[in-house]
Amino acid sequence: MRRFSWFNATALTMGFAFLYIPMVILVIYSFNSSRLVTVWAGFSTHWYGELFRDQAFLDAAWVTLRVAFVSSTFATVLGTMAAYVMVRGGKFMGRTLFSGMIYAPLVMPEVITGLSLLLLFISIGLDRGIVTIILAHTTFSMCYVSVVVSSRLVSFDRSVEEAALDLGCTPFDAFKSVTLPLIAPAVIAGWLLAFTLSLDDLVIASFTAGPSATTLPIKIFSSVRLGVSPEINALSTILLLLVTIGVVTASLVSKRRIIQQKRDEQLAEQAPQ
Amino acid sequence: MNLARRTLIGIPYLWLLLLFLVPFGIIFKISLSDYAVSIPPYTPTLDLSEGWQGIRDFFGALDWENYVFLTEDDLYWRAYLSSLKIAAISTFLTLCVGYPIAYGMAKSAPEWRPMLMMLVILPFWTSFLIRVYAWIGILSTEGYLNQFLLWVGIISDPLQIMNTPTAVYIGIVYTYLPFMILPIYATLERMDESLLEAAEDLGCSRLSAFWIVTFPLSRSGIIAGSFLVFIPALGEFVIPSLLGGSSTLMIGKVLWEEFFSNRDWPVASAVAIILLLILVIPIILFQKNQEKNQEADT
Amino acid sequence: MKPAVKPAEFAPWLDQNETPLIRFDGVTKRFGDFTAIDNIDLKIYRKEFYALLGPSGCGKTTLMRMLAGFETPTEGTITIGGQDMKGIPPNRREVNMMFQSYALFPHLSVWDNIAFGLKRSDMPKDQIPERVKEMLRLTRLDKFARRKPHQISGGQRQRVALARALAKAPKLLLLDEPLGALDAKLRQDTQFELMDIQEKTETTFVIVTHDQEEAMTVASRVAVMDNGKVIQVDTPARIYETPNSVYVADFIGDVNLITGNATLKDGGLAALSWAEGQPDIIGTAGEGGGSGAATFAIRPEKVAISAERPEGMNNVVQGRIHDIAYLGNLSTYHVELSDGTIIKAQTANNRRLSRRSFTWEDEVWLSWTDTAGLVLAG
């Protein structure tokens, strides 16, 4: 029985207001018919139209999507492998270094990561472009994926894997038939996380993109440096909408699943043996 | 170690080694090089076709010049100090704002919590850049905040927040808030209610029960959250660039400008190396804390 | 459920011509500094229901996992069906295991769980459904084939685990504390069911348990373990009646223990002097219990209690009733002797409450026959 507390209620309300009001304002003013973003001049969807006619933006968006898809897929594979190694690998030579390399990118300032990768590509003579961005994003995303999958693997009942081996599976077959289906939600969450990170990355992309490839964040940044622009508000609103739909859907789906599972378990216990 | 295990460990290991660790070595090497008007814009470059003499020449041309330069021009160490200050203050502010929110979430009714979690995570999934951009419209002299305050009558002249360190603080707190809330919420949620009841039963007021029982037990969450804010904030670029203006000195911005504006890669590299050295200890501490938490969970 | 009646003389371990299905020869297992299994020799025969019994940490689970292939011995050899198991991984052994947590695959139905091992065996694909149906019938799970593990109860999950492990008709079935999660009534029923299934399928079962009642009920032979060593291997009856050590005597069932000094006598008997002024206790001489420091062990049900001093018995002591434990069908009297030792005497409650003879603080006589108790070394 939770005691209702004014302190808690206030803290939560103010906290979430702080988090959401800026975004709400952004959305509202994307419908502002005036270019002066801070003065309301009437409702208009004018800027959305402008946005879709802006070829440079559309090209950048396309590049960004492609990079995000490819890098998050690679990152998920590598990150899942890394997670498996960290949780199940036991002792092996160089484990501390490996662990360090997994956690460090999570907190490393992006300017350093970006600079380091750019210098790497230059010294091996790799031309900067979409490929280099993909390589860069894969590298830092895989660490995030590995953290997400690790936490699922850690709470995983190992005896199910042993049962699979006992019944005739090779280790790889056991992973494919039993472990993977069971960690699938974490793997998917990891993929989504990697996708978002790639979609949103500015600094590392700036370093590794080169003149030929422009991503959406780079475009947004150069636009925003010059000041506020309602087209950006429109773009922001679209992105916010997409993300909100995604997160709310995922949340509802998982909630439904949990309720259904609980109901099944209750039925089972009540039924005759 | 059989082949399958070796491949499983080897592939991610090799990837990280080549794309994460080795580049740091390259940064170091370039920090010892000199600026040159060429492509790439530094010299010397290692030309293996010159054979052994080429290698000797290469090493001969490397020097610590750039590091000396960093100590001479006070821009750099002022930027490091300023970054440390801003990162520390921002972390503290984020803690002050984030802790009550995490606390409120943990103490709320269980059926509310998944939704509150979702509300905290949602901003995290939306574009970081866009959320910082939103504050430009709010904090500028014609921005919504000033409009609101003028309209209410609290102030008579618009506040100059934009392009000051204050804007940077607000920006960092705003964007890094979920990173502080989630670890603290996780530790608070796990906490046993009966400990608080025992404390109150033994004579503590609500407030002192909080300070004596709850706060210390949430320590691991506070530490994790603080690392997750402090370390990246130290090297932040986007926020000081968009909100801080030229008056706010942060090392991430300096590195960027050194690289993109001045095209002085060797100096930029030296800046990066020094920043890395400053961060090595916090990063190691962070990693140790993470491993410890994960072991505790098993 | 009626217990299955075993054919009268199932005792392959006594037959010189029988070769054991499983052999442990000089097996030791060390984890770093810790020795989990210390130089064990064991022989387990076909169609046995063999129990590994002992407290937590005695090594019984490690022993089982070595049979399954999840641990490898540090020293020694394990042979199954005449084949050395060195280097053979779990998936290639004709051994299947029923896990303590059941370890059912949550994402597969009951049917698919049972069919899982079959799909990875040599069995032709078209024969698999028939076999799965057979297993479902055997474990009475026919109606639940399409359900998932979270949609069935704990007892049903246990049966799925059993069916799944038996599906491949393994040479050896390992059961890791299979009945721990069940409530008492269900546990008893399941014990008999297990024995039934073992007989029907003629599989060799090896069960690991810390519950001595369970081991005594189901097993053809019990191996009592302590600290990585096997202390005694025998049928339940012989383990109970003739424990070879104080440890086994104390571990199984209830026992009275009296320490003293022993001397051998004729006819396989020994005499224990245990207290000043009291006559020696006579008992059957156990292993090494003939002389020197020894402990006398006697089961409470073998101690007769009477109000008058009984005639013609060598083993007689006098005491006062200190406590009575009333269990419905039995009463255990805790009798305190003059030197403070407490002896437990157990009798069936043949008469109703009001007509029973003894109550607290009564002066009584305890007696037992010469061969009722054992004099054990140590």
pLDDT at C146 over 60: yes
pLDDT at B39: 65
pLDDT band, very low/low/confident/very high, at C62 (cuts 50, 70, 90): very high
Q: DSSP states of A1-53 as a string?
A: -PPP-HHHHHHHHHHHHHHHHHHHHHHHHTTBSSS-TTS---B--HHHHHHHH
Average pLDDT over chain B, rounded to whole?
A: 83
pLDDT at A78 over 70: yes
pLDDT at A7 over 90: no
In C, which residues are within 8 Å of A181 by CB distance?
107
Q: Topology of domain A73-105+112-216, per CATH?
A: MetI-like fold (1.10.3720)
More confident residue, A272 or B11: B11
Q: DSSP states of B216-281 as a string?
A: HHTHHHHHHHHHHHHHHHHT--HHIIIIITTTS--HHHHHHHHHHTS--HHHHHHHHHHHHHHHHH
Residue C10 CA: distances (Å) to CA of C18, C51, C54, C195, C236: 12, 16, 24, 14, 13
Worst-scoring range by mean pLDDT, A172-176, B153-157, C335-339? B153-157
Nearest chain A residue to B175, by CA: A19
Selection from A93-107, C35-49, C351-365 with the highest mean pLDDT: C35-49
More confident residue, A239 or B38: A239
pLDDT at C1 over 70: no
Q: Is C50 helix (H, G, I), strand (E, B) or coil?
A: strand
Asked if B121 reaches chain A (Cβ–Cβ under 8 Å), the answer is: yes
pLDDT at C6: 54
Q: State the DSSP H helix or E strand holding residue C304, giving kind and residue range, or none if neither.
A: strand C304-306
pLDDT at C370 over 70: yes
State the nearest Cα–Cα gap between B88 and chain A, in angstroms. 15
The reported pTM is 0.81
Right CATH number for C256-377 from 3.50.50.60, 2.30.42.10, 2.40.50.140, 2.60.120.200?
2.40.50.140
pLDDT band, very low/low/confident/very high, at A106 (cuts 50, 70, 90): confident
pLDDT at A169: 92
| Closest of C378, C371, C372, C367 to residue C290, by C-alpha | C378
What lies within 8 Å, CB to CB, of C270 at 6+ separation is C262, C263, C264, C282, C283, C284, C285, C289, C290, C291, C294, C375
Residue C116 CA: distances (Å) to CA of C104, C127, C129, C163, C168: 11, 14, 11, 11, 10
pLDDT at A8: 81
Q: Are C343 and C256 in contact (CB under 8 A)?
A: yes
- The mean per-residue pLDDT over the stretch B27-43 comes to 75
Q: Is C88 helix (H, G, I), strand (E, B) or coil?
A: coil
| Closest of A34, A37, A238 to residue B138, by C-alpha | A37
Structure tokens at B121: 């995570």
| Closest of C311, C308, C303, C368 to residue C330, by C-alpha | C303
Residue A38 burial (CB count, 10 A)? 19
- The mean per-residue pLDDT over the stretch C324-352 comes to 86
What single-letter amino acid sits at B210?
Answer: F
Residue reference for tokens 């103010």: A14
Q: Is C41 helix (H, G, I), strand (E, B) or coil?
A: strand
Q: Please tell me the CATH superfamily of domain B73-297, with its number.
A: MetI-like (1.10.3720.10)
| Closest of A53, A181, A68 to residue C105, by C-alpha | A181
Residue reference for tokens 């390992």: C174
In Å, the largest CA–CA distance within chain B is 81
> Using CA atoms, how far apart are residues B248 and A234, in angstroms rounded to an integer?
29
**Alpha helices per DSSP H over chain C:** 60-68, 110-119, 128-138, 154-166, 184-201, 212-218, 236-241, 246-251
Average pLDDT over chain C, rounded to whole?
A: 89
Q: Are C300 and C344 in contact (CB under 8 A)?
A: yes
Residue C265 CA: distances (Å) to CA of A243, B156, C259: 91, 114, 18
Asked if B109 reaches chain A (Cβ–Cβ under 8 Å), the answer is: yes
Q: Is B296 helix (H, G, I), strand (E, B) or coil?
A: helix
Q: Topology of domain C12-241, per CATH?
A: Rossmann fold (3.40.50)
- The mean per-residue pLDDT over the stretch C162-166 comes to 93
Asked if A271 reaches chain C (Cβ–Cβ under 8 Å), the answer is: yes
pLDDT at A166 over 90: yes
Domain boundaries, chain A: 73-105+112-216
Is residue A211 reached through a cis peptide bond, with omega within 30 degrees of 0 on the bond before it? no
Q: Are A204 and A110 in contact (CB under 8 A)?
A: yes
Beta bridge partners of C51: C207, C222
In A, which residues are within 8 Å of B131 by CB distance?
22-23
> Using CA atoms, how far apart are residues A264 and A194, in angstroms rounded to an integer?
34
pLDDT at B144: 81
Residue reference for tokens 């860069």: A136
- The mean per-residue pLDDT over the stretch C196-206 comes to 91
> Using CA atoms, how far apart are residues C337 and A61, in angstroms rounded to an integer?
94
pLDDT at C225 over 80: yes
pLDDT at C9 over 80: no
- The mean per-residue pLDDT over the stretch C121-143 comes to 92
> Using CA atoms, how far apart are residues B52 and A65, in angstroms rounded to an integer?
47
Inter-chain touch B256–A111, beta carbons under 8 Å = yes
* pLDDT tens-digit map of A216-226: 999 888 888 87
pLDDT at C4 over 70: no
In C, which residues are within 8 Å of A177 by CB distance?
116
pLDDT at C204: 94
What lies within 8 Å, CB to CB, of B152 at 6+ separation is none
Q: State the DSSP H helix or E strand holding residue A174, giving kind and residue range, or none if neither.
A: helix A171-174
User: Residue A115: which of B100, B137, B272 has the nearest Cβ?
Assistant: B272
Q: State the DSSP H helix or E strand holding residue C377, giving kind and residue range, or none if neither.
A: strand C374-377
Q: Are C376 and C249 in contact (CB under 8 A)?
A: yes
Residue reference for tokens 């299994």: C37
Structure tokens at A264: 């099944």
* pLDDT tens-digit map of B180-213: 998 898 888 888 878 888 888 888 887 888 888 8
Inter-chain touch C96–A167, beta carbons under 8 Å = yes
pLDDT at C344: 93
Selection from A69-83, B121-135, B262-276, C301-315 with the highest mean pLDDT: A69-83
Which A-chain residues 12-31 have CB contacts (< 8 A) with chain C? none
Kindly tell me whether chain B and chain C come into contact, counting contact as 3+ Cβ pairs under 8 Å.
Answer: no
Inter-chain touch A123–B26, beta carbons under 8 Å = yes
Structure tokens at A224: 């925003």
Asked if B96 reaches chain A (Cβ–Cβ under 8 Å), the answer is: no
For A3, counting Cβ atoms within 10 Å of its Cβ (0-12 exposed, 13-18 middle, 19+ buried), the class is exposed
What lies within 8 Å, CB to CB, of A69 at 6+ separation is A195
- The mean per-residue pLDDT over the stretch A153-160 comes to 86
> Using CA atoms, how far apart are residues B66 and C140, in angstroms rounded to an integer?
80
How, if at all, do strands C204-209 and C172-176 pair?
A: parallel
Worst-scoring range by mean pLDDT, A268-272, B15-19, B237-241, B267-271? A268-272
Q: Is C359 helix (H, G, I), strand (E, B) or coil?
A: coil
Inter-chain touch B228–A142, beta carbons under 8 Å = no
> Using CA atoms, how far apart are residues B230 and B219, in angstroms rounded to an integer?
16
pLDDT at C347 over 70: yes
pLDDT at A1: 39
pLDDT at B45 over 70: no
Tell me what percent of chain C is helix, strand and coil, each rounded to the nearest 5: 25, 35, 40
Inter-chain touch C68–A166, beta carbons under 8 Å = yes
In C, which residues are within 8 Å of A178 by CB distance?
105
- The mean per-residue pLDDT over the stretch B42-46 comes to 66
Q: State the DSSP H helix or E strand holding residue C234, giving kind and residue range, or none if neither.
A: strand C229-234
Count of CB contacts below 8 A, A vs C?
Answer: 77
What lies within 8 Å, CB to CB, of C134 at 6+ separation is none
pLDDT at C355 over 70: no
Q: Are A71 and A198 in contact (CB under 8 A)?
A: yes
Q: What percent of chain B has pLDDT over 70?
A: 90
- The mean per-residue pLDDT over the stretch C219-236 comes to 93
- The mean per-residue pLDDT over the stretch B31-57 comes to 68
Inter-chain touch B23–A236, beta carbons under 8 Å = no
pLDDT band, very low/low/confident/very high, at A3 (cuts 50, 70, 90): low
Residue reference for tokens 């594979």: A77
Average pLDDT over chain A, rounded to whole?
A: 85
Domain boundaries, chain B: 73-297
Residue B81 CA: distances (Å) to CA of B75, B77, B258, B278, C26: 10, 6, 18, 11, 68
| Closest of C10, B17, B118, C113 to residue A104, by C-alpha | B17
What lies within 8 Å, CB to CB, of C338 at 6+ separation is C318, C319
Residue B270 burial (CB count, 10 A)? 27
Structure tokens at B16: 């990280």
How, if at all, do strands C342-348 and C330-337 pair?
A: antiparallel
> Using CA atoms, how far apart are residues A111 and B60, in angstroms rounded to an integer?
29
How, if at all, do strands C374-377 and C281-285 pair?
A: parallel
Beta bridge partners of C40: C27
Which A-chain residues 165-184 have CB contacts (< 8 A) with chain C? 165-170, 173, 177-178, 181-182
Inter-chain touch A182–C68, beta carbons under 8 Å = no
Domain boundaries, chain C: 12-241, 256-377
